[in-house]
A and B are shown apart, each in its own frame.
Chain A
Amino acid sequence: MIALLGYVVVLGALLIAAVWLVRRSERRLGAGPDAHAAPTQLATDVTSEITAYLDRMTGELALPAADVAEVRAELADHLQDSIASLEAEGLDRDSAIREALGRLGPAAELGRQLRMAHQSKRRLLAGVGGGVFAGGGGFVLGYLGGIMLALFAALALALATPLLAAVGLRLPDITSGDHSGNAVNSIFLAVATAIAAGAATRYAVRTSASLSRRTPRSVSVFWAVGGGLGFGWWAIFGMRGAQSWPSVAIELCVPLVAVVAAFVRIERSMPHVGRWALFVGLVAVVGSGLLFAVAGSVSSSVINTIGEQPDLHLDSVAPAAPAAWFPEDVNFGGGWGSDSASGGTQVSLELNPDLGGPAIAAILANWREVRFEAWHALPMDMPGLLAGIDTRYSSPIEVQSASLSDTSFEAVFHLERFRDSGSWWIVLTAVGPDGHRYRLESGMGGDARFNGSAWDWLTAPQ
């Protein structure tokens, strides 16, 4: 609980700091100088000659808008002062203007010098660091916004579906056969990630441009490459969890989203994110999370009503081992669990040790090529259904050799790496003295969900 509180506090502090940094940057990138710092009254009697000079000079600046406005205002002020001094020395107005402009040197050269003065290495480093930091904050903010957007979209879809059905339009059911909610969860996650990647890249571009005193357009290519590669790698290879075809399609678009976010209308200001927007976003996400947690616990309590079928259709896998070679009083004990090292499913069946070593050795001498076979089973995550082998399938999902350790047969399955393994049943089989394969143990059943990256999904066996 304390760790969770600490996590929320750190996340909140990061968000507030990032939003503050972005707001500050937005003021610099805005249309004019900061209202608190800008000159409130600029020279009004600036001649066309001076205006043309200032235009040529600012044309070379390539700085954020606020800096351009400040430099222009400062030089206009300087020229006014200079012209007044020269007139006081006895020069006429036109000569004074020419002399004042001449003393500042060629406009284009002055603009280049000022640009180099502003775009120092120190500011470039600040821009890179600030961009990364703002990008992190933008990612969190985008993620929260993405979850909210996905929630609203799901709500709108839930409301629209019956209305569309009433007028004869049926939407494709992407959750068909998805009793565990994998598809919906993975789509939520993918949408949130895509929006987060876009927001992070945009925040990084604009903040780094402001801090390094460059135009957003001039730095966007670096962040497009960085964001595209970084977020693309994360979305396609790094982000592990439930997957579905729609979610994989969205995740494959994440690099493109980052690139587009770095370029398209990058000169436009970021939408204003106020304190209330942050507060409402956090409350909505935490509230919906709690709602889902409660709904999940209710639904899981419903699921636990699976009955046992007298015939598990195990003969469709292999016939039971003849009593002559495998006495009926020989029992296995054991079960399955998660393999902490690989994340797979570890199965273990132990022969009754009371039989004694010589008896066990005599029984096992009849058998060779002992293996575990994982078969598709009838769905176990729906209430009222009975367990057993799904006879629509003619071959197992996965086969693993059973390694004998003392009196136990063991194997590790990776059913979470299959796209549609769903419910499974694992049976222990072996080849008898007559050369036919028989069933030594009825085995055990469970439910597997795909767990991996988008790339794992694309390359996974069916």
Chain B
Amino acid sequence: MSETHDPGMRVKALAGERKRVLDALRGEALTGPAILRRMSERSTAADAGAAGRAEPGDQSLLYPALHSLEADWRLEATWLPEAGGVRRRTYRKRRLVPHLPRGTGRS
């Protein structure tokens, strides 16, 4: 857990987390836990010691990063239904051109 009280370090760590979230999100819509899993898969031993990198297992910056990216219009979040009727908050990169509903794209 990256429990630092230094605001400068905190900002740096959040910026790093935002970058990793954007890297993890390609084109698809993912929930917070799914993004976390994608980030874990992508992380390597070399990344672990890099500046601004949160400690392994630390999730304290994931949601601040997701929500700040949404506030900055980099991501869009929607509640999508999954099996069992539970709606889960999913994130995807925001595009200049809105996403077309399935089946309306050009062949």
Contact = CB atoms under 8 A, between A and B. Distances in A.
Interface centre among B1, B67, B68, B85 (most CB of A within 10 A): B67
Contact of B63 (A73, A114, A123): A114
Contacts of A77: 31-33, 86, 88-89
Given A38-B87, A105-B58, A110 B64 contact: yes
A122 to B, nearest CB: 6
B59 interface: yes
B32 A113 contact: no
Contact of A113 (B1, B58, B61, B78): B61
Nearest to B11: A116
B66 to A, nearest CB: 8
Contact of A74 (B2, B63, B71, B84): B63
Interface string A366-407: 000000000000000000000000000000000000000000
Contact of B89 (A40, A70, A116): A70
Interface in A73-100: 73-75, 77-78, 81-82, 85
B3 A117 contact: no
Interface in B42-93: 57-61, 63-68, 71-73, 78-79, 81, 84-89
Contacts of B86: 39-42, 77
Interface residues of B, number: 30
Interface in B85-103: 85-89
A106 B64 CA distance: 13
Given A39-B88, A40-B87, A41-B86, A103 B1 contact: yes
A116 B64 CA distance: 8
Contacts of A70: 79, 89
Interface centre among A73, A74, A117, A123 (most CB of B within 10 A): A117
Contacts of B65: 117
B71 A105 contact: no
Interface in A44-77: 70-71, 73-75, 77
Contact of A110 (B32, B63, B68): B63
B88 A117 contact: no
B19 to A, nearest CB: 15
A103 B60 contact: yes
A82 B34 CA distance: 11
Please classify the interface of chain B as helix (H, G, I), strand (E, B), loop, or mixed, using the class held by over half of its residues.
Answer: mixed
A113 B71 contact: no
A120 interface: yes
A273 interface: no
A213 B68 CA distance: 12
Nearest to B34: A81
B68 A37 contact: no
Given A81-B33, A104-B59, A39 B87 contact: yes
Contacts of A73: 89
Contact of B60 (A33, A39, A85, A110): A110
A102 interface: yes
B16 to A, nearest CB: 14
A120 B14 CA distance: 14
A74 B58 contact: no
Contacts of B57: 103
B1 A41 contact: no
Contact of A118 (B60, B67, B78): B67
Given A103-B58, A114-B63, A123 B79 contact: no
Given A114-B63, A117-B65, 6 more contacts: A37-B79, A114-B64, A117-B64, A117-B71, A118-B71, A120-B68
Interface of B: 1-3, 14, 31-33, 57-61, 63-68, 71-73, 78-79, 81, 84-89
Q: Which 7 A-B pairs have the closest CB atoms?
A: A105-B60, A117-B68, A113-B64, A39-B87, A117-B67, A120-B71, A81-B33
